[in-house]
Structure formats: structure tokens, C-alpha cells
Amino acid sequence: MKKIEFYNNKNIISKRLIEARKAQHISQAQLAARLQTMNVNIDQQIISKIENNDRQVTDYEVACICECLKIEPEWLLHDYKKLIK
């Protein structure tokens, strides 16, 4: 399988995802449960891998995470600018 990374990152949402989730006092398991109700096949371990930058994230996962946390995708994706400077 081809290794896909962006400036040595598997995703660019890890830090902001942690920030948003913790600000709302939502556990990784609670977020995973919310995503599962949206038919997104993610469990607590996958949320952990995303937050540890050990897993890529699809576009529909980003959209659903934003919906669950009531945040804007632009905010969640903002950190990419720091990576390319």
C-alpha cells in the first residue's frame, strides 16, 4: 500500500480535534458513538489514532466530525497552513 503523508503527517486535524473534543467535555468513546449514529464506522481506538496522527481521515469523516462537534470544517482544517510554511 502506498504511504500517504503530508509533511510527515497522516492527517491535519489531530490537534484541533483534541481541542474541540476536550472543550466540549466529550470523550473519544462518546464522539465515536455519535459518529456511529451517522453510519460512520469509527470506534474509540480509531479516534485515538486520528488524534495521535496515526491514521488518515476521509472527507466524509471530517464532515461528520464537524457535525457531531458543531464546528466548521475550515476551523478544523486550519492547521495545514502551519505545515506548509
Number of domains in the chain: 1
Domain hosting residue 58, numbered range:
14-80
Write the DSSP symbol of residue 1. -
Say if 73 falls within a structural domain: yes
In a domain, 3, yes or no: no
- Three-state DSSP class for residue 3: coil
Place of cell 502506498: 2
How much is the pTM? 0.89
Let me know if residue 30 belongs to a domain.
yes
pLDDT at 1: 63
Instruction: Give the number of other CB atoms < 10 A from CB of residue 40.
Output: 18
**64 lies in some domain:** yes
> For position 21, which CATH number holds?
1.10.260.40
- For residue 32, give the DSSP letter: H
Averaged pLDDT in 10-residue chunks for the chain of 85 residues: 80 95 98 98 98 96 98 87 61
